[in-house]
Structure 1
Amino acid sequence: MTYSTPAFSPAADLRWEETSPGVRRTLVAYNDDLLLVKVAFEAGAVGALHQHVHSQISYVEYGEFEVTVGDDMRVLRTGDSFYAAPNVPHGVVARQAGALLDSFSPLRQDFLPAALPPA
């Protein structure tokens, strides 16, 4: 199957979903090889420690986060980024309200709405 968003994705058309208390996400754009997701956090919200088979690069759009990747923890702020290799545990705690832009390769099909048809 082939999945893809249209060439342009106006912000007004994005749909947000709550994933856990104080955390919500929207799929910005994707195809079979790449997915870009925006994740918004309220202060104190947690992106629980987890791992997956996808490569992940995350950019701190704004805010301040305690980020754990593997055995290392760092405080990241606006403009900082991190890389989580496949199958490496990682998670965040929002020290203040903020947002991350998460990119995944390949596409995380588990993030797609169940009723979404392929392109």
Structure 2
Amino acid sequence: YNKNKLNYTDATSACGCLDTHLYMADSIDKYNLISYIVDFSDNVWIGLDDMATEGKYVWSGSGQSLDALLKPLIFDLFQPDNRNNEDCVFKQEYLGRLNDAWCSLTMSYLCEKT
């Protein structure tokens, strides 16, 4: 978990330099684990985006698509909404649910080694 604020692309690269990738909350257990790792009051990039194909969210560490059954359990209500072309996913401060945002925003980020 790095509190240094980076955009999504730079956070992805920073994880890569450590031979890791942005965190994949690809199960309910891994999603729940985020709250034990990161500060409650911090927005944090995770490794999920739909940059390649709008609406098709893919885990950047594995290339696997987001499970349709997991999506409503981990995203905030009415999210992701692609408001003004938001393509990258982060864990929201306080609420802890996932939301989509512009990839150019700077946030803390969470890497993992698999």
If asked which structure has higher relative contact order (CA below 8 Å, sep 6+), I would say 2
Higher Cα Rg, which structure? 1
Greater helix share, structure number: 2
Greater strand share, structure number: 1
